[in-house]
Amino acid sequence: LKFEVQILGVGSATPVLERHPSAQVLSIDNESFLIDCGEGTQYRLLEQKIKHPRIRHVFISHLHGDHYLGLIGLISSLNLNQRSEELTVYGPKGLREILEIQFKYADTRIRFDLNFVEVDTTARNIILDHQFLTVETIPLAHRIPCCGFLFRTKPAPRKLLRELLPEEFPVTYMKMLKNGIDVHDELNQATYLAADFTLEAATERAYAYCSDTAYLERNVPQLANVNTMYHEATFTNELLSRAIETNHSTATQAAQIAQMANVGKLLIGHFSSRYKTLETFETEARAIFENTLLAEEGVIYEI
């Protein structure tokens, strides 16, 4: 199963020409999940040729504009484009009210099923139990209620090697083999070992999206061993005091969390517009956590 994330924006609060506000698309199989939706996200989706019908779930971390101002535009366009698929928006208290007041004064009638799920940003809750994965909130520490999202694939059954089995092999036996149970066929006095007729299932994978947050060690157990973690790094360590003041993290701090949680790979983003170049972020983080990458817009990262 394909499991990957494409970064659409690595900027923070104020715009820089070549860096856009937060938005990412996580894809599994043929479905996509939109994570944050900064201003202009709909153009970024067009640019990357991401088909709207594939997106049925949108996760908003908090109500700072650089994380959700693109949502009203995106939803309006989906409505004008005769969307028929359902769309569920997960976000903190207030998001629904903000959008609905915009619909009201624009006399916009949404003609597809638009659902809102208000998330509690202070707790670890599973907010979506999907066919392929679960999504859990990651409580963060920011100036306003804010949470991240942990996407974890579900354990998959073993893959059946159908061509090795006799024709007319009973379906119940196939199910047993897929679950790793050996089959003894009394009638034909034959034994089928799961190990001989199936392949090991793909291992579970996890992606953590840590949006705007102050340095927060208490989340380390929840983030333990995830394959890929995105963590904000608004500042370099030189501006640690500014990070503390504004409830943001530095590249060093993001790397410290990655190291403590023993994640596979760290992606850092949400760079402050005051930085013209980003090398320092990389050097600084890598000094603590080697497998760090600067999140790059348009790039797809396998999880």
Shortest spacing between CB 1 and Zn ion, in angstroms: 31
Q: Which residues contact 66 (CB under 8 A, 6 or more apart)?
A: 11, 12, 13, 21, 22, 38, 39
Shortest spacing between CB 36 and Zn ion, in angstroms: 8
Report the distance separating Cα 10 and Cα 294, nearest Å: 9
Stretch that binds Zn ion, among 7-15, 96-104, 180-188, 220-228 (CB under 5 A): 7-15
How far CA 130 is from CA of 56, 151, 203, 266, 301, in Å, comes to 11, 10, 17, 25, 21
- Dihedral sign (CA 85, 90, 91, 94): positive
> In one letter, which amino acid is 105?
Y
- If one asks whether residue 152 binds Zn ion (CB under 5 A), the answer comes out as no
Chain position carrying tokens 């949680």: 261
Shortest spacing between CB 215 and Zn ion, in angstroms: 15
Stretch that binds Zn ion, among 9-17, 37-45, 274-282, 291-299 (CB under 5 A): 9-17
- If one asks whether residue 36 binds Zn ion (CB under 5 A), the answer comes out as no
Shortest spacing between CB 143 and Zn ion, in angstroms: 7
Rank residues 183 and 269 by Cβ distance to Zn ion and give the closer one: 269
Q: Would you name the residues annotated as active-site residues? A: 66
Q: Do 58 and 25 form a contact (C-beta atoms < 8 A)?
A: no
Shortest spacing between CB 142 and Zn ion, in angstroms: 5
Half-sphere exposure of 208 (CA within 13 A, CB side): 31
Rank residues 57 and 248 by Cβ distance to Zn ion and give the closer one: 248
- If one asks whether residue 136 binds Zn ion (CB under 5 A), the answer comes out as no
How far CA 88 is from CA of 44, 51, 151, 254, 259, in Å, comes to 20, 16, 16, 30, 34
Count interface residues toward Zn ion (CB under 5 A).
Answer: 4
Interface pattern 116-135 for Zn ion (x via CB under 5 A): --------------------
- Find the binding residues for Zn ion in span 44-103 (CB under 5 A): 64, 66
- If one asks whether residue 284 binds Zn ion (CB under 5 A), the answer comes out as no
- Find the binding residues for Zn ion in span 179-238 (CB under 5 A): 212
Q: Do 71 and 78 form a contact (C-beta atoms < 8 A)?
A: no
Q: Which spans of this chain sit near Zn ion (rule: CB under 5 A)?
A: 12, 64, 66, 212
